[in-house]
Amino acid sequence: MTDTILSTDARWAGPRKHTPMRPPSARSRAGARRGSVYLIVLSVSMIVLVIGLSGLMVSRIEQRSASAVSDMTQARLHALAAVEMGMFQIEDYPSSWRDRFDAGILPTDMPLGNGTLTLEAADPVDGDLTNNETDPVLFTGIGIEGAARHKLQVTITFTGGLAEFQPGSWKQVVD
């Protein structure tokens, strides 16, 4: 038996070998399937890329936020340290601390860790630290760390030659 088909139809001029043919619609569906799979893989890859980049952005934002909170905490501690340095001066020089403060013996932009601290002393009664030993003194501690700045004030009163501060006199200053 031969695979040759003889036909009298003009379209089939001459002997041809018989080859089984798929219908044209099946061939176009296979190509369409390959294209669809490519589009699906490409779409899924884009979704995974967007999710990954979003995760990196969120991580970066959280890191900046944590850094800002850390700087603010450190600035607050620097301000507290400045006030405590002023209180130490009062304890260390009980008879001459007012003259020393009036002469400018206060820490100003003193480095501490990665930040700085400054202490300001003022007489809230008359503005002169040296004229009266019983006038209160207002300490303002300023702490700076990174972009954070914190001010802390405390009023110190003097009774019987001893320096005392009222717990309610501590306050944060916003400027």
pLDDT tens, residue by residue, 59-86: 999 999 999 999 999 999 999 999 999 8
Contacts of 12 (CB under 8 A, 6+ apart): 5
- Residue 3: pLDDT band (50, 70, 90) is low
Residue 87, in any domain of the structure: yes
Asked whether the predicted pLDDT for residue 31 surpasses 80, the reply is no
Q: What is the pLDDT of residue 58?
A: 95
Q: What pTM does this model have?
A: 0.67
Residue 45 reports pLDDT greater than 70: yes
The larger pLDDT score, comparing residue 55 to residue 1, is at 55
**Would you state the pLDDT for residue 52?**
95
65 domain-assigned? no
Examine residue 56 and state whether it is found in any structural domain, yes or no: no
pLDDT at position 105: 74
Task: Indicate whether 120 belongs to any domain.
Answer: yes
Give the per-residue pLDDT at 126.
86
What is the span of the domain harbouring residue 156? 70-173
Residue 151 lies in a domain: yes
- Are 158 and 129 spatial neighbours (Cβ–Cβ below 8 Å)? no
Report how far residue 74's alpha carbon sits from residue 84's, in angstroms, rounded to the nearest whole number: 15
Residue-wise pLDDT tens digits, 94-130: 888 888 887 667 888 889 889 999 999 888 888 888 8
**Nearest CA-CA partner of 132 in 107, 168, 153, 157:** 157
Instruction: Round to whole Å and give the CA distance between 111 and 74.
Output: 12
CB atoms within 10 A of CB 107: 19
- CA atoms 124, 125, 130, 136: torsion sign: negative
Q: With bands split at pLDDT 50, 70 and 90, how would you rate the model's confidence at 175?
A: low
Q: State how far the alpha carbon of 129 is from the alpha carbons of 39, 122, 133, 135, in Å.
A: 80, 7, 8, 8
Count of Cβ atoms closer than 10 Å to residue 75 Cβ: 24
Q: Domain tally for the chain?
A: 1
Residue 60 located in a structural domain: no
Q: Is residue 101 part of a domain?
A: yes
